[in-house]
Chain A
Amino acid sequence: MITNTPALASSRLRLPKVNGWAIGTLTIALIVVLPILWVVNLAMTPAGDIWSHLVETVLGQLIWTTLLLMTGVGLGTFIIGTATAWIVTMCRFPGQKIFEWALLIPMAVPAYVIAYVYTDLFEYAGPIQVFIRDVGGFEVRRDYWFPEIRSLGGAITMMTLVLYPYVYLLARSAFLNQNASVLEASRTLGQGPWKSFFKVALPLARPAIAVGVSLVMMETLNDYGTVDFFAVATFTTGIFDVWLNLNSPSGAAQLATVLLTFVIVLVGLERYQRRRQKFHQTSTTTKPFRGFQLKPLAALGAFLVCALPVTLGFLVPAWILGAYALDFYQDTLNASYWSFVANSLGLSAFAAFIAIVLGLFLAYSLRLGRARWLNLVTRLAALGYAVPGAVLAIGVIMFLGYTDNAIDGFAKSSFGVSTGLLFSGTVAAVIFAYVVRFLSLSFGSLESGLAKITNTMDGAARTLGAGPLATLKRVHLPMLKSSIMTAALLVFVDCMKELPMTTILRPFDFETLATFVHQYASDELLPEASLAALTIVATGIIPVILLSRTIAKSKVTQAHNEEVST
């Protein structure tokens, strides 16, 4: 049955409205895609022999290191995320209820913050090595073995500790949605619990886990703070290095284009696995699994396995930052902490607002639209999230530089006045970059919110006497309210944490919490910046709480449905 009734447009206003939507959607998509196209365009422009120079010198090393980093983090998050998700979903042991949401918390800590903390802890002058030297009676570093934290392995560990929740989240919902009878069938066919896990549960959850791992890898490619701080030569640091130190924008753009192909592969993988997820739904009505009641020793093991990532990923860094903040908060305040807070809040709030407005527009356009190409364009407009910040930063600078020059040239020739640089090096550039990168976050959450409003609900409201505007006000807005809040919060928090684009695009002498913390930590002044770092972590916790609340809520409905059906 075809039920594509327009939600808001009354019959006779339909045509012109669709055109308005189409034009708006195209414009938004174009604005989002232009910076990326600029990078590719710049990379194609001949610029001496920089490319061959790059190929001879750094390119191989960059690709190798980046691949190692991605593989390491992918593998680490896969193991931790899947194992904890399985334990928490299938086993019953003391603390299991708490771990269900606590395992998400490390998500709140940006990778660069955890890297600063552990460096402070593990470096030569840090408390652990000092302790080892005191106890062992060693004099110098040569006398004993200790892992070097500022290394590729260190970077992999840091990112794994804060990124595994992506895999955990998706794996857990996949396990939850698996019909218990599928597992029971496997058990009756003679497979033990372990074999059932590897033969049934894991293969069924594979698409979801693959989606989680691809998201993790995208985040890994995006990271700048950690690899810069650890001096690990990946694409992100390579791009900045070629750009700022070799002073070659086109060389940077060429590296960025290579990085983009990595991203395209990941996005393709993610999309493919998402489609496969649909076929792996074992049943529409799932009978939840009662869970294995663990014996004391096994329960302790499960507890430790779950406690370890939470402790290392959140408790330790939070505790250290908290302790420093208590001692050194005065230094942070003296470094005009409040103005950084104001800058961060202002930028993030404004970017969130714009992302919501554009996201709402795109989501409605998709809902009303009947043209296939509009659908495609909308998806394109939501691709920014996959593009690493370093690439976007170059694109935005180049694009805005071009626009500024064009406007200036036009003003000069037409009015004889120079407008100078209107956008470059202003907060507008930062906000523009934020919106391009995080638009997909707001769009995604608004789209799923809108999907809950079925066409028949529109029909019900309209036949009950509510006109298009009244329907919007009485049905859509109240139902979308929480989606809008979630979308705004997600964008807001990601903007607060954002480092590479902010570093490059901010106006001269303009500091946010993130740039301030990175600056101080790079100068070995972590204690003095700990209050600011703690602020970032604290904001990051808000969406995690929100997320765990939706998880808890979905369980309530589930429990209720059982009640009704029995």
Chain B
Amino acid sequence: MSGLVMERISHAFGSTQVLRKVSLVAESGKLTCLLGPSGCGKTTLLRLAAGLETVQNGRITLRGEKVADNQEGLCLAPEKRGIGIMFQDYALFPHLNVFDNIAFGLSNLTDERRKWIEESLQRFGLAKHQHSFPHVLSGGQQQRVALLRALAPEPKILLLDEPFSGLDVTRRAQIREETLSFLKECGVAVLMVTHDPDEAMFMADHIVIMKRGEVVQAGTPVQIYFHPQNSFVAELFGELNHFEGLVHNGQVSTPFGACSIPSIPDQEKAQVLVRMEGIHVTMGHNKSAHDGKNITFGHVEEVFLLGRSSHLHIRVPGPNDQDSVILHVRVPGVLKPEFGAAVTVWTDEKQVFVFPAD
């Protein structure tokens, strides 16, 4: 069932167009992530969904009920929509204590809701802070109060604007996990905005990637990671090895041999992207490695120990015996090649992506 549907949303501030015909669906019971660099319009989209910004173009439906449509001049006030939002700066009311902050949105504080608040506070270890004021809480505590405040009125959908960006890096992972399991228990539809790809992969059931006011790809984390539709999406998850060349007989040559590209016509430029962790390494020159498919030989130029993994620079011959090139490779920490060591490398087909050149 569809929780929130936004259709063909366009929006401008003055002469700056921040959203161009953006459509997205956030399904009930699922966590949808809006992922993109800062300034791509994702927060504006959230504010439009909440009714904090007037829809200029497009339509928004919430559980099948229209809440905004520019053609009908309809734009329901935020208090009439039944959505919950957690702001990046939390926006807790400084004049109300923790309990009153959370209960702010409840027109009728029933015993059942009071119990829910108390239990939730208990769960997050905030029970003793019930009567404290927000300014005495730590960042993580404030974040959880803001989350509970947004959830208390049982909203149709919960909007989260960069929910973890205000937190200390050391606490972020833990709070992220706690928040995720709490949200799953609540079963509420969630639309979350983030610029952190790892966070999106960790939290989301569905990811919508935005760039300069447009959706560039939407799908499950698996689809996004293994089937990026363009280099922007592929590059979200870290630096890539990048090869470019002209297509010849439906193929483009790489240091690992020819790579077939049926989708690009001959004589056009194509780019081949390989994830750093998509390159496998074994010590010595071994012709039978990976059954001899897609292999090439080289030697280690530099080694950076990162702890759990190592970052290698490996020099291999270029395609068609041109100048040699340097591959950037991530290998597990147990593999500790030394400077100058001879290695055999091959690619994992799943982590090789081919696109027309930009």
Contact = CB atoms under 8 A, between A and B. Distances in A.
Question: Interface range on chain B: under 10, 10 to 19, 20 to 34, or 35 or more?
Answer: 35 or more
Nearest to B105: A464
A316 interface: no
Contacts of B87: 456, 459-460
B78 A462 contact: yes
Interface stretch (B51-59, B196-204, B257-265): B51-59
A460 B79 contact: no
Given A2-B13, A457-B91, A462 B51 contact: yes
A12 B68 CA distance: 13
Contacts of B77: 10-11, 462, 467
A475 interface: yes
B93 interface: yes
Given A5-B52, A467-B79, A461 B104 contact: yes
A54 to B, nearest CB: 52
B93 A479 contact: yes
Interface in B57-103: 73, 75, 77-79, 81-85, 87-91, 93-96
13 contacts: A1-B43, A454-B91, A456-B90, A460-B104, A463-B50, A463-B79, A463-B83, A463-B155, A465-B107, A478-B95, A479-B93, A557-B135, A564-B136
Given A456-B88, A465-B82, 5 more contacts: A456-B89, A459-B85, A463-B85, A475-B93, A479-B95
B195 interface: no
Contact of A479 (B52, B90, B94, B149): B94
A461 B81 CA distance: 12
Contact of B50 (A11, A459, A466): A459
B153 interface: yes
A465 B153 contact: yes
A96 B50 CA distance: 52
Contacts of B73: 12
B110 interface: no
A258 to B, nearest CB: 44
A86 B202 CA distance: 52
Contacts of A276: none
Contacts of A560: 135-136
B288 interface: no
Contacts of B155: 463
A460 B85 contact: yes
Contacts of A460: 85, 87, 91, 93, 104, 149-150
A271 B50 CA distance: 39
B322 interface: no
A463 B149 contact: no
Contacts of A12: 73, 75
Contacts of B91: 454, 456-457, 459-460
A452 interface: yes
Contacts of A187: none
A135 to B, nearest CB: 60
B94 A452 contact: yes
Most chain A beta-carbon neighbours within 10 Å: one of B43, B51, B107, B149? B51
Given A11-B75, A457-B91, A464 B52 contact: no
A457 B93 contact: yes
Contacts of B54: 11
A462 B104 CA distance: 11
Given A11-B54, A456-B89, A560-B136, A463 B84 contact: yes
Contact of A463 (B39, B52, B53, B94): B52
Interface in A445-482: 452, 454, 456-457, 459-467, 470, 474-475, 478-479
B255 to A, nearest CB: 43
A560 B136 CA distance: 7
A460 B107 CA distance: 15
A463 B78 contact: yes
Contacts of A470: 79
Interface in B18-43: 39, 43
Nearest to A459: B52
A32 to B, nearest CB: 31
A452 B13 CA distance: 25
B47 interface: yes
